Amino acid sequence: PPPTAALNLSDIEEFAEKVMTATAWAYYRSTADDENTYWENQAAYGRFWFRPRVLRKISRISTATTIVGIPTSLPIYISPSALARLGHPDGEMNMVRAAGEAGITQGISHHASCSTEEIMSVKSLGQNLMYQMYMPKDRKAAKDLIKQAERAGYKALILTVDTAVTGKRELDMRLKQSSTNIAAATGKAAVDGLGIAHSIGFAKDPDVCWDDIPWIRSITRLPLIIKGIQSVEDAEIALDKYRVDAIVLSNHGGRQLDYAPAPLTVLHELHERRPDLLRKHEVYIDGGIRRGTDVLKALCLGARAVGLGRPFLYANGVWGEEGCRRVIEIMREEIETGMRLLGVTSLDQLTPDLIRYVDRDPC
Ligand code: FNR
């Protein structure tokens, strides 16, 4: 079917499951243990309902904002995710092209399957990308990585911190692929029977800690975003104590610790306990965002922008660049319609009074 056959992001996921290889589907869809966090990421959005306002002029609206200073036409960005080439031969390049055309930003994963040269060669003029890294065990390698990202022209550094070790991703592990298969599919060295995620996870430093943050700051001027914050306490440490430029509330799309809270729940708690932090700093959120209304709810609670991971991997797997464009188009339509029906014309009007928490099933 053509990309327009997908009316929403769930349609895209259904197509992807049918069309993609078993290896790609298992790697992209897999989550930790019993998938409680994976499902809760989305379910948490169902516990917030709107308090819409009417009779406001809404024909002209703006969905523009900035993410660590990077202008974006929508409050969404493409979350860094590994190995887009498992789904399509052009891999991350398809996402970069679609993001450039739509005027949104993207995090390029440490484990991207396209080279920096390939990515930069399809970037349009004025398009800004962020580089996501895990901390390598060898700090010299870490420094080299950061310097390479600067030289390549990335505009921000995302340090992912929810992955000290790799979560137990059973769908991926169950395929019991040989190291040769995995290496052929991913271009990375692999280990028999461990699955893709574990195979590519070995170079990370499990002892990366808060003391490394000032060190990163000392070697780069790039804005620093910490991705994978899962508690109010760590949000406070990152923003109050280490003054990082921004944080992403994220549990890696449910791929790491099962029973880690939904990022929206953490955002809600942050909003109740430390609203000042949300006013002063940029806080982004990802995990389970599949509707324009999800984006609006996160912004009402104080998030600056949201990231989407799997929807882009799936769309890329089915249609390549066109699919990535379709994800953005669907989100744009849903965000704009949602804003109008909520009675707001710009993102700064998305405030907590437009939303209410419902702790039971309201239907
Ligand atoms: C990821 N994610 C991720 N995060 C990161 O910082 N570096 C990475 O290399 C990857 N790789 C990766 C691969 C795959 C297949 C998935 C699904 C996810 C996590 C990603 O950035 C984001 O946090 C989640 O995907 C958000 O959840 P949704 O939108 O997929 O529900």
Q: Radius of gyration (Cα) for the chain, nearest Å? A: 19
One-letter amino acid of 72 = T
Mean pLDDT by 10 residues, the chain (363 residues): 96 98 93 95 97 97 98 98 95 98 97 95 96 95 96 97 88 74 72 72 86 97 98 98 98 97 98 97 98 98 98 98 98 98 98 93 58
Binding site membership of 177 for ligand 1 (Cβ less than 6 Å) = no
CA dist., res. 278 & res. 285, Å (int): 12
φ/ψ (deg, to 5) at 282: -90, 125
CA dist., res. 337 & res. 354, Å (int): 15
ipTM of the prediction: 0.99
Q: Which residues contact 191 (CB under 8 A, 6 or more apart)?
A: 179, 198, 199
Q: 137, 205 in Cβ contact below 8 A?
A: yes
Task: Read off the pTM.
Answer: 0.95
Catalytic pick among 88, 111, 198, 252: 252
Binding site membership of 111 for ligand 1 (Cβ less than 6 Å) = yes
Binding site membership of 161 for ligand 1 (Cβ less than 6 Å) = no
| β-pairing verdict for 48-50 and 355-357 | antiparallel
Catalytic (active site) residue 110: no
